[in-house]
Amino acid sequence: MVGTETTPTELIDLLGDVDPDVRLRAALDLGEGRHQAAAPAIVERFGRERDFYIREILTWTALRMPDAALPHVRAALHSPRWLARLQALHTLSKVGSRDDAAHLDPLIADPVDAVAARAYWAAAQTLDPRVVPALVAQLSRGDSEHQNSLTVALGSFGAAAVPALVAALGGGNPEARRHAADTLGSMGSPDADAAAQALAAAIADPDEGVRLAALNALGQLVVPSAWAAIDDAAGSPEPKMRQLAERLGERRPSTRELRLAELRRQRGGGDGEAADEAEASAEVQPVAAAAPWPGPDLSLVDIEGGPQAEALHPKLARQVEFCRPRYLSRSDVPQEVLARVYAEAEAEALTAGRPAAAAARIAAGRAELFVHETVLLEQVSVVNPGMTVDGLLLGTGVRVKGFTVSADGS
């Protein structure tokens, strides 16, 4: 039990306790007391704590002592533990420092989708446009929710993101072109006005999805040339293009709105001039071409049962790929292995001068942590870090029969 007389050292030990309520109280007490010596332990726990709410409190605690904790948070961006990288990004997103842009840039391409998505948001909070090319290079990655997180992040940069998105409209990956058009449409006027010319050209794209996305994006602009292109599309031989153009026409800006928008652009640079400027800027700052994102190796995990098996199979394969479990369930862990983990942790604690009772408690927490990190069903889910894999499967009827982890660690 955490009490008012508990020392900072004891609180640090309790961060790894078996009882989540004790871990939570320890993190809160360290934050309330602003115990700066605990900063390394607080951040180290980022990559080991499986309870989502406790991780949130760890972030709160770290931000209560920024001078002591933030250097460790930035170091955690390079951790081999995906959960540590995720929580470090989450913490830095709340700081929103432009100075962190260079630290965040590599994480935008993190192989774990949840980490990359958090990097998008953290990078957006810096408001440093130098991260935009790295963000645009992720276009078309992941499912619709993941892509939406990138769209929102790019939208935070407003007009500064338009040159790179215009460049992406001419890329070789049709899914990336579609995503670029969708993002420009989400930004709308006035931020995306400079993309009107490129979007008008994209409604002739060889890919239907790109054509429709570009047409829809034009409908979000208050630009005369955009609506001229929509009018042309209303006569398209393609039924979907005609129908979309007609629906967009139902909310066409008035002539007065278009004239006022044109006057504003002329005072700050004309529509065509802005588009030319965007294209020139994109040439100066080239964006890496986004290739189609490879799917997971489904052979890594064997599952059965339930109508959701097809949807869960790739998620479970990603879990095995990135977290490399040793056992399927808690009952599969050999008792002699747990006994060895317990004994080593207890001996380490006693050597460090902890009382016998405290050493036993530390050892029990270490053994439980071993289960959480090595048992597939006990691990934090890489696709939904708010729950464990067991929680992800709860109520689906899907059962994991077995999994394979390559011997070389790949």
104-156 pLDDT, tens digit each: 999 999 999 999 999 999 999 999 999 999 999 999 999 999 999 999 999 99
| Contact present, 119 and 89 (Cβ < 8 Å) | yes
**pLDDT at residue number 304:** 94
Per-residue tokens: 217 = 């994006």
Long-range CB contacts (< 8 A, 24+ apart) of 203-209?
203/229, 203/233, 203/241, 205/174, 205/177, 206/174, 207/174, 207/177, 207/178, 208/238, 208/240, 209/174, 209/175, 209/178
**pLDDT at residue number 272:** 43
- The pLDDT tens digits of the residues spanning 20-68 come to 999 999 999 999 999 999 999 999 999 999 999 999 999 999 999 999 9
- The pLDDT tens digits of the residues spanning 283-321 come to 434 555 555 677 899 999 999 998 899 999 999 999 999
CA distance 62 to 95: 11
Q: Name the pLDDT band for 248 (thresholds 50, 70, 90).
A: very high
CA distance 234 to 240: 10
Mean of pLDDT values over 76-92: 98
**pLDDT at residue number 254:** 82
Task: Identify the structural domains of the chain with CATH numbers, from first to last.
Answer: 1-109 (1.25.10.10), 128-294 (1.25.10.10), 298-403 (3.30.479)
Per-residue tokens: 26 = 């320890």
**pLDDT at residue number 189:** 92
pLDDT at 258 over 90: no
Q: Count the residues in the chain.
A: 410
pTM: 0.89
3-state secondary structure the chain: CCCCCCCHHHHHHHCCCCCHHHHHHHHHHHHHCCCHHHHHHHHHHHCCCCCHHHHHHHHHHHHCCHHHHHHHHHHHCCCCCHHHHHHHHHHHHHHCCHHHHHHHHHHHHCCCHHHHHHHHHHHHHHCCHHHHHHHHCCCCCCCHHHHHHHHHHHHCCHHHHHHHHHHHCCCCCHHHHHHHHHHHHHHCCCCCHHHHHHHHHHCCCCCHHHHHHHHHHHCCCCCHHHHHHHHHHCCCCCHHHHHHHHHHHCCCCCHHHHHHHHHHHHHHCCHHHHHHHHHHHHHHCCCCCCCCCCCCCHHHEEEECCCCHHHHHHHHHHHHHHHCCCECCHHHCCHHHHHHHHHHHHHHHHHCCCCHHHHHHHHHHHHHHHHHHHEHHHCECCCCCCCEHHHHHCCCCCEEEEECCCCCCC
**pLDDT at residue number 256:** 83
| Contact present, 200 and 225 (Cβ < 8 Å) | yes
Q: Between residues 348 and 406, which one has the greater pLDDT?
A: 348
pLDDT at 7 over 90: yes
